Amino acid sequence: MQYYSLNNEAPNVSFSEAVIKGLAPDRGLYLPEHITPLPKSFFENIENLDNVEIAYQAIQQFVGDEIPEIELRDILEDVLSFDFPVISVEENIGTLELFHGPTMAFKDVGARFMARCLGYFNKNNENHVTVLVATSGDTGGAVANGFLGVKGVDVVILYPTGKVSEIQEKQLTTLGQNITALEVDGVFDDCQEMVKSAFLDTSITDHKQLTSANSINVARWLPQLFYFLFAYKQIKNKNKNITFSVPSGNFGNICAGIVANKLGLPVKHFVAATNINDTVVRYLESSTYEPKPSKATISNAMDVGNPSNFIRIQNLFNNDFSSLKNSFSAYSFNDQETKEAMKVIFNESGYVADPHGAVGYLGLKKQSLGEDDYGIFLETAHPVKFLDVVEETLATQIEIPERIQKVIDKEKKSISIDSYKKLKEFLLQ
Ligand SMILES: N[C@@H](CCOP(=O)(O)O)C(=O)O
């Protein structure tokens, strides 16, 4: 499989090159040259396939022959070692829980898949890679956990100071070893911008091989398409038209869902549900793309003002505004509405949704689902990661799982930086 840059000014690359580079030299995101639909029989028979088989068949064309079948299956076996259940919340609404991995957020699958691919490409220890990643909350912890101790890889995580939850901060600042956390005086978009600038700064890249573990990296992004297939497997026998509502920040997850749809997954509609960081919502209303600096909310992992993956989404719809609008809607909700939705879900079904899931639920509610429809909102992180706001809003106590308690008890270690110059000094020291 070859990947091309969306800025069209860089040579095409193979899967391994796209993974190792992260971003193309012309600053474009990579996209696969072709997406070949899976055979009909795959979807007809999906309920009889285990998750590793589903994932293998779905990802194989994107990896090509650069990772042999046996190794790729081993990687997937290791990465997908937890559940992805769809839980019924209302008669025609379910939630796809993506938080059963080690850091209790949906980023675990992509981060672990990418770490193992890089490990495979570097099995002879020939190339030392520095992974740079910007986080507004969940990516940082998942990448720290997924890459911990991977040989030949150093990880540098940039996060906006004071704008991630306490547990998220502990997850990304306490592991040590090959993981360093840089606390940035700014918002998530400043972190993401610094990371992108570093990739193109030859005074750094002449000395260090840098790559990204954000969803701009195809190995972090593409495995997220598994989720939509796993959900379909579980609700296929309802024979309903499926609408997915995806809490969206950098728009990588919903973009992967669109790839699953291109592989043949039947989806009636995609809803991107955002908090007040509403760049895409405004774009769909006005056809003017006008990013704004992100604002802090209680669904902080979505505090993104300039979502990286929206350009991929536009491309997957051939840059055709009306065909995008036929299959894709976006809605924005404020913190008050989010809290109200958490209460409604809890009071009506006893289900504890985190603020991101609640935004996804609200997105579905905008879609007036009929009798033949089934709506799925993605629970992208466990409510415990937003302990204060969830306990206060629902007046209930959340049990703290052992894997979270372990990080809470550790000591935070981070380095404060306030400019790109400081990042550069750090990388070159
Ligand atoms: N939602 C994010 C922001 C970065 O998104 P990514 O999917 O591109 O890594 C976070 O939790 O950090």
Query: What is the pTM assigned to this prediction?
Result: 0.97
Which atom of ligand 1 is found nearest the CA of 135? 12
What number is the ipTM of this complex? Answer: 0.98
107 catalytic per annotation: yes
Q: CB of 168 closer than 6 A to ligand 1? A: no
Show pLDDT as tens, one digit a residue, over the chain (429 residues). Answer: 999 999 999 999 999 999 999 999 999 999 999 999 999 999 999 999 999 999 999 999 999 999 999 999 999 999 999 999 999 999 999 999 999 999 999 999 999 999 999 999 988 877 789 999 999 999 999 999 999 999 889 999 999 999 999 999 999 999 999 999 999 999 999 999 999 999 989 999 999 999 999 999 999 999 999 999 999 999 999 999 999 999 999 999 999 999 999 999 999 999 999 999 999 999 999 999 999 999 999 999 999 999 999 999 999 999 999 999 999 999 999 999 999 999 999 999 999 999 999 999 999 999 989 999 999 999 999 999 999 999 999 999 999 999 999 999 999 999 999 999 999 999 999
Q: Which DSSP symbol is given to 251?
A: S
Which atom of ligand 1 is found nearest the CA of 168? 11
Q: How far is the CA of 372 from the centre of ligand 1 (A)?
A: 33
Q: CB of 160 closer than 6 A to ligand 1? A: no
Burial class (CB in 10 A: 0-12, 13-18, 19+), 350: exposed
Residue-range domains of the chain with CATH = 82-104+221-399 (3.40.50.1100)
| Structure tokens, 427 | 């990388």
Q: CB of 101 closer than 6 A to ligand 1? A: no
Nearest CA to ligand 1 atom 4: 135
The DSSP-derived string for 22-65 is SS-TTSPPEEES--PPPPHHHHHTGGGS-HHHHHHHHHHHHHGG
Q: CB of 95 closer than 6 A to ligand 1? A: no
Cross-sheet strand order for the sheet of 86-90: 86-90, 93-97, 373-379, 241-247, 269-274, 328-332
Pocket test for ligand 1, best of 136, 139, 187, 356 (most atoms within 8 A of CB): 139
Q: How far is the CA of 238 from the centre of ligand 1 (A)?
A: 32
